[in-house]
Structure 1
């Protein structure tokens, strides 16, 4: 399922276990909200799953957050859509990927992307892995590199210094 409202890539935890994908415990537990703002029945996301998807000559390692997705096996969310920036023809249901000078066409049927999963394996080669900071720097336009500190993980995990004019907003 392509979902630009989803903030990540998700995999159905039950399906992942059925096809024997290894689930890894996440560093932090994350609450998951459905499209209607209710908490997901599966509770917090506590596991993730890394695997390789290979289709029509394109090979990519994907890390998905494992949760309950009902009848859907995988959700390719905003992060995936942003990274690949596919062309979507909504009238014909064709998604076109521009990967290494090769166009990969996949059909969308009722909102699902059908891609033949030809191999599932974990990649242990550290040389192929990109550090998160390098990946973010690659995604952030060069004109914003002067503001790099704003995008750092450390800065995003702490509140700004308290000021005398700060006040609570009681809802």
Structure 2
């Protein structure tokens, strides 16, 4: 964590809708807490609704197992914990969890997940035929390697392709 050299322990909780930092820990370590524009409600430990609204957050940069992360942590009194890594971190890190040994392993950031390529489409709609080469295996193998910051392009329903207008 930037500015903190001691190793910190965090609780990983798939039932938490956010990442959390204890405000006393933040104050003790001079981590600035930013006031939210409006209070929000969150699901805390073990999928329980937090009764008091959340009013502050912190933007933290930290590393674990040679991977660096940056994430928002909401200020919440955590008792004997300093941090909770909730579902946002689990989605970001996508760790391997060995439930037998209770060990968490992070994949290397450059490691790509293997996938299979479906056969080339036979009946491509007319409006997409000029793009047929992008569906070929040859074109697929020329793409750059997948990385943790790949960005999805979400298509909107009932919208036409710009070239089709």
TM-score relative to the length of structure 2: 0.57
> Matched residues in 2 for 1:60 and 1:39: separation?
25
Residue in 2 aligned with 1:9?
19
Which one has a larger percent strand, Structure 1 or Structure 2?
1
SS in 1 for 2:78: coil
The yes-or-no answer on 1:46 pairing with 2:76 is no
Q: CA deviation at 1:59?
A: 2.1
The yes-or-no answer on 1:79 pairing with 2:88 is yes
Task: Extract unaligned runs of 5+ from structure 1.
Answer: 103-134, 150-171
Task: Extract unaligned runs of 5+ from structure 2.
Answer: 1-10, 112-148, 159-165
Residue in 2 aligned with 1:94?
103
The yes-or-no answer on 1:57 pairing with 2:52 is no
Structure of higher CA gyration radius = 2
> Residues 92-139 of structure 1, C-alpha deviation per residue, up to 9 Å, x if partnerless?
12111113247xxxxxxxxxxxxxxxxxxxxxxxxxxxxxxxx8x92x
The yes-or-no answer on 1:69 pairing with 2:78 is yes
SS in 1 for 2:155: helix
1:26 to 36, 52, 62: 36
Matched positions, count: 110
Q: Please say if residues 20 and 75 of structure 2, whose CA atoms lie closer than 8 Å, have aligned partners that are also in contact.
A: yes
> Matched residues in 2 for 1:56 and 1:87: separation?
12
RMSD value, Cα: 2.7
Q: CA deviation at 1:38?
A: 5.6
> Matched residues in 1 for 2:157 and 2:84: separation?
30
Runs ≥4 in structure 1, deviation > 6 angstroms?
Answer: none
